[in-house]
Structure 1
Amino acid sequence: MLPTPSVVLHDVTFAWPDGAVALDHVSGAFGRGRTGLTGLNGAGKSTLLRLVAGLLTPASGRVVLSGTADYLPQRVTTDVDATVADLLGITPVVRALRAIESGDVDPAHFDAVGDDWDVEERAVALLAASGLPTGLGRSVATLSGGETMLTAITGIRLRQSSGGGAVALLDEPTNNLDGDARERLYELVRGWRGALVVVSHDLALLELMDDTAELRAGSLTTFGGPYSEYRAWLEVQQEAAAQALRSAEQTLRREKRQRIEAEERIAHSESKGRKDAANSRYVKAVINDRRNSAEKSQGARRGLLDDKVERARAAVDLAERAVRDDDRISVDLPDPRVPAGRRLVVLRGADGREVVVQGPERVALTGPNGVGKTTLLERLVRPGSAESPAGAAGGEVLTGQVAYLPQRVDVLREDLSVLDAVREGAPHVPPGELRNRLARFLVRGAAVDRPVATLSGGERFRVALARLLLADPPAQLLVLDEPTNNLDVASTDQLVDALAAYRGALLVVSHDRAFLERLGLDVEVRLDGAGNLTEVR
């Protein structure tokens, strides 16, 4: 007997207020173990998690949970006044405990505590086991991005250990995590007990899953095994689908050929009949009788052959739908014509050591979370936007046009349409031409007029990338901060291909080691906690 699933989706449909359909009659289920939810950008994965969490309401259909949902979005709180206890979700219990300890016997305090009398001890133990700061009153502002995410995930584990029976929902939890933080997250997942659904493009994380689910074209497919096994199974299925398509196409060509040959025979027969009538070889009554009989026979034959052609064409259409032909970002980067050796940017470490980026060099800026890589980029491309204390790493642009894609993709105004957001970077390009260019970024049709606020993480990245790359004049230096965080595997492949063809300078911050290794780097520059820069050739 199969185990009862933790989440069941019954014919779920969801549309945004502007009418854009995010999910269309989706049915499926997630098990009680660890499930990796995959799919192309824009498929609706984050929307699906929010529906399961009850943060969105389906237009039709039902979401049924065994227990409750504990949801962690891609962006964890940035409230500077929040504490570690807030991030763990235990502040109400801690306050009730303090009140009881002070002698307050209000029943509401005992209700708030419930069975969690040792919640502080368990919280500290879980934090320590993950190598995280254990001060429950510590400000979230003092944590790195990786520490913030790991602490929030620890809060979910803490609530599950309290017997809450919640289904944990994590949306891209490894985004912005450095190598060390990712390893600690992997350890958390390896030891996970209870239902867990993770949306991720992190292949290492997906390998830790018990099941793999893919959301595609309104269908949710669940496979028993990690992502690599799912891909191997899918490859076999696709080979079979491709063979079926070739056979269907061959059958259609044969049926069309036979239809043409039959039409030629019919035409020949009709021609012969007209010739016999002209030569008066037969009496008129016999000719008319034969003509009527031939027309009936030929009509029936045409109908039979037409039916065969239509059935063969329908078989081709069905086979084509089974063969995947996923759209990918098709980026055509401009040639900024940067001479080799032109000095574009200088990076300065806290110890005064300098690293010069010159076209068309490819440079990676790496280092643990919290050492200031993003801050260094901000100081570089937006002078005056970030205070530069004495002894901190910094730098300056020496010459050339710089295009910058920040980690949070906050270059887009939420109230603008996609088209208007991109036009800000290319105000002199006609809207029709921009629409054509946006199609290369998989932003087509009515999606061009959607508000930026309604975009998924992957869609937002594509639009921000389009705004950067379609700018006029083109940039001589591309500065990218964690560009693969919101990209599916196919889009990451296409981004790598595009950057490989780019002939300007590239400065990229990334914790995705596989991505960096594919860029053909000229140099890696490591930033440490003291603000010093070290070149790694």
Structure 2
Amino acid sequence: MPSFPSVRLRNVSLSASVLRTANASSELASSGSEPRVAFDLTLGPGVTGLVGRNGSGKSSLLKFIASSGLTGATDLPVMGEVSLSGPVRLLDQSPDPQARLCGLFGCAEAWADLRHALAGEPTRGAFEAVDWTLEDRMVAQLTRFGLPGMAPERRLGALSGGQQLRASLAALFFDAPEIILLDEPTNALDTEAREVLAAALKSHRGIALVASHDRTLLEEVDRIVSLEPDGSVAQFGGGWSAFQTAREAERARLVAEADKAARALRQHRAQVEEAAARQARRARQGKALRDGSQSKMLLDKAKEGAEGAAGGRLRATARRQEALGAAQASAVNRIEVVTPVAMVFPEINLPATKQVLVLREAVFAIGDRRIGPITLSLTGPERLAISGPNGAGKSTLLRGIAGKIAPLSGEVIRPVKCARLDQSGGLAGPGNLIEAARREHPHLEPAEIRTALAQAGFRGDTALKPVAVLSGGERLRAAIALLGAGGYPAPLLLLDEPTNHLDLDALEALEEGLSQWRGALIVISHDAHFLRKLEISARFCLNSRHMGVTKAL
């Protein structure tokens, strides 16, 4: 048993079906080959970020480690051996709503013993074995994660979604476990909860393996492990910035290698053409000699020798050209197995003085609560971020701005057309991509939908894929393409947590596309890195302590 915490993976490989899913738009998926690369990986104390494209196997790998790699324990598409130095916990993001907090903490029996002992009733074991500090430790842990005064016997179904995730995080870190595994833990967390999680990870003394696309979180990790498109892994020391620098340097090296291979192939082809020209000249000279006075016997003997040597040279030349071509193809493939498809927003040029949105004392309902009164305005291509804790009503406000719900009082004035994209890109539900697009855009003609999808790379049968099998990036790319369909793009774009289910490639493509967008933008996001990239001009804070617009720094 190692003297320090460790996770050791040996001869681990992802199934070919996983790799085909992760590389759905590459030759790797359509070639009919069964790529399978086994890897070894050892993790020591500290926080390790796990990155990779959607569908690359991050979640399966975490579940595989959590199951200790026992054959037959799961039906996961992963094979190999796992060696753990101690107990492992995987963040529970879908707890049973009927379970109680003490059960989530794994302390249901110990909690029952404590309650019986305090009531003077018999316990399961010796009275001296009762954990007398259990309640204090659980309450302190719940308070640490933003749930003060929460009773350990409370049912999870009585908590909001955000509170359930906070409770799951509190349970994960309870009593300092040796090894913890987290799968996209920040997706449903507000800014305050993200900061609490970051502090908990920083103070963790064991091993933490975190699958995430949250670059603010990844900036603080000790190392990053990347699941590559071919199923191998690459490990980088440091956080997100160091990872990006190393990746860019590696890409530059591979580009130079591909250029060198291409030059060698061109030079070889030029040499082959020159040799062929020389051989043609010699053939013409030989014909002239045969037409002359030299004896036929001498000429035939010379011809046989020349043909034998030429045949050998041709075979060597063919082998050399094949090797150079393979080297060039290999170098190009290593640059990027899948070239990320750009997210291209429709062209628009919104005048700086154009009134885009006005809210005057608008009040909206969210259940029994009221949001507002809210007063704000947007002019020209301004970029507004709506911030606030989970449950504050940010999405309700965005739906009110979009005209999906009417205000209880006050007014909402939208002088321009607006388009709204939520976490699914607005394309969800049953059926294929074209059917989902028709539901979301009933005003568009079928030909307009097909044209827009084709321009985004969804051509032929690809446009008939079920929406359920598309990645978050693919759904968002299709939704963005439909914004400009019909020739009348909306000057005001509303985004509700658009980054939650995107991998890093899709996220960066979204940022690049929005940087070229010349319309107005209102966005809800807890992703600080994403908001910085968008160059937000103002923020609207929505919470009980303060409500209003502040200019972004």
| TM exceeding 0.5 | yes
Distance 1:503 1:3, change over 3 A: same
Q: CA deviation at 1:65?
A: 4.5
Mapped to 2, the partners of 1:533 and 1:272 lie a distance apart of 92
Mapped to 1, the partners of 2:253 and 2:49 lie a distance apart of 25
Contact map agreement 2:215 2:529 (CA 8 A) in 1: no
Mapped to 1, the partners of 2:480 and 2:270 lie a distance apart of 48
Contact map agreement 2:383 2:520 (CA 8 A) in 1: yes
Of 29, 49, 54 in structure 1, the residue corresponding to residue 62 of structure 2 is: 49
**Residue of structure 2 equivalent to 1:249:** 262
Distance 1:278 1:459, change over 3 A: same
Distance 1:417 1:16, change over 3 A: farther
> In the alignment, is residue 286 of structure 1 matched against residue 304 of structure 2?
no
> In the alignment, is residue 497 of structure 1 matched against residue 498 of structure 2?
no
**CA-to-aligned-CA distance 1:169-201 (integer Å, 9 cap, x gap):** 212222243333222211100111322110122
> Can you give the 5+ residue segments of structure 1 that lack an aligned partner in the other structure?
none
Q: CA deviation at 1:231?
A: 3.2
Identity across matched positions, percent? 29
Mapped to 1, the partners of 2:329 and 2:485 lie a distance apart of 36
> In the alignment, is residue 429 of structure 1 matched against residue 446 of structure 2?
yes
Residue pairs, 1:138-537, within 5 angstroms: 147-158=163-174, 160-161=176-177, 165=178, 167-217=179-229, 218-279=231-292, 281-324=293-336, 327-335=339-347, 340-346=353-359, 348=361, 352=373, 354-381=375-402, 383-384=404-405, 396=412, 398-407=414-423, 409=424, 411-426=426-441, 428-430=445-447, 433=451, 435-439=453-457, 448-459=463-474, 461-462=476-477, 465=480, 474-529=489-544, 532-536=547-551
Distance 1:457 1:62, change over 3 A: farther
Mapped to 2, the partners of 1:30 and 1:134 lie a distance apart of 40
Distance 1:205 1:422, change over 3 A: same
**Residue of structure 1 equivalent to 2:89:** 70
Mapped to 2, the partners of 1:416 and 1:26 lie a distance apart of 36
Normalised to the residue count of structure 1, the TM-score between the two structures is: 0.82
Contact map agreement 1:376 1:395 (CA 8 A) in 2: no
**CA-to-aligned-CA distance 1:345-382 (integer Å, 9 cap, x gap):** 52646664521234433222223444321222233335
Q: CA deviation at 1:214?
A: 0.3
Distance 1:452 1:70, change over 3 A: farther
Aligned length: 518
Matching residue's letter, 1:94: W
Mapped to 2, the partners of 1:466 and 1:500 lie a distance apart of 16
Mapped to 1, the partners of 2:115 and 2:421 lie a distance apart of 46
Mapped to 2, the partners of 1:118 and 1:45 lie a distance apart of 37
Normalised to the residue count of structure 2, the TM-score between the two structures is: 0.79
Mapped to 2, the partners of 1:405 and 1:158 lie a distance apart of 37
Q: CA deviation at 1:138?
A: 5.1
Contact map agreement 2:146 2:193 (CA 8 A) in 1: no
With 292-301 and 59-68 compared, the bigger mean Cα shift is at 59-68
Q: CA deviation at 1:460?
A: 5.0
Matching residue's letter, 2:7: S
**CA-to-aligned-CA distance 1:52-82 (integer Å, 9 cap, x gap):** 3459624462352525543236x55595x66
Mapped to 2, the partners of 1:312 and 1:419 lie a distance apart of 44
Mapped to 1, the partners of 2:395 and 2:297 lie a distance apart of 95
SS of residue in 1 equivalent to 2:346: coil
Mapped to 1, the partners of 2:105 and 2:491 lie a distance apart of 44
Matching residue's letter, 2:172: I
SS of residue in 1 equivalent to 2:294: coil
Contact map agreement 1:206 1:227 (CA 8 A) in 2: yes
Of 35, 50, 53 in structure 2, the residue corresponding to residue 37 of structure 1 is: 50
> Can you give the 5+ residue segments of structure 2 that lack an aligned partner in the other structure?
24-34, 68-72, 363-370
Distance 1:87 1:452, change over 3 A: farther
**CA-to-aligned-CA distance 1:233-267 (integer Å, 9 cap, x gap):** 33333333333222222222221111111111111
Q: CA RMSD in A?
A: 3.9
Q: CA deviation at 1:422?
A: 3.3
